Amino acid sequence: MLDDMGLSIGQVAERTGLSVHALRFYEKEGILARQVQRGPGGRRVYTQQDIDWLRMCIMLRMSGMPVPEIRRYTELVRQGDGNELQRLDILKEHQERVQQQMVQLQECMDLITYKVGKYQDYVNSIAAKAVGQ
């Protein structure tokens, strides 16, 4: 174990649900807001801030933002103040896509629910017949 501010890659994996492989992959892909510190033996030492950032990245990924776009966003954040408008653009664009995704998903859900209803009725009617015999 490391001191209370420093977490090993294994601990971060536990806390975020990502695999250690994925964590190294994300770092290589440049989607960590700050350079990960290294401890003795070249081991990665993560902070709570890294975890917070990762959790946001996980949200972005879950909602379908591709890794390269997360990288672009990360780079803006790394560059510091002055590019908030660009960050906002990326987020708004993604928001739009997520919105569309949700609409689509709802349409699918409606169809599935309709079919489930139909099959349920049918199955029930068969069961009723069997009982009524």
Residue from 21, 34, 38, 92 that binds a second copy (CB under 8 A)? Answer: 92
Residue from 2, 5, 77, 88 that binds a second copy (CB under 8 A)? Answer: 88
User: How far is it, in rounded angstroms, from Cα 129 to Cα 133?
Assistant: 6
Q: How many residues bind a second copy (CB under 8 A)?
A: 33
- Binding stretches for DNA (CB under 7 A): 8-11, 13, 19-22, 24-25, 40-44, 61, 66-68
Taking the complex as a whole, the smallest distance from the CB of residue 29 to DNA amounts, in Å, to: 8
Q: Which long-range contacts (CB under 8 A, 24 or more apart) does 23-30 make?
A: 23/54, 26/54, 26/57, 29/67, 29/71, 30/71, 30/74, 30/75
Closer to DNA by CB, 41 or 80: give it. Answer: 41
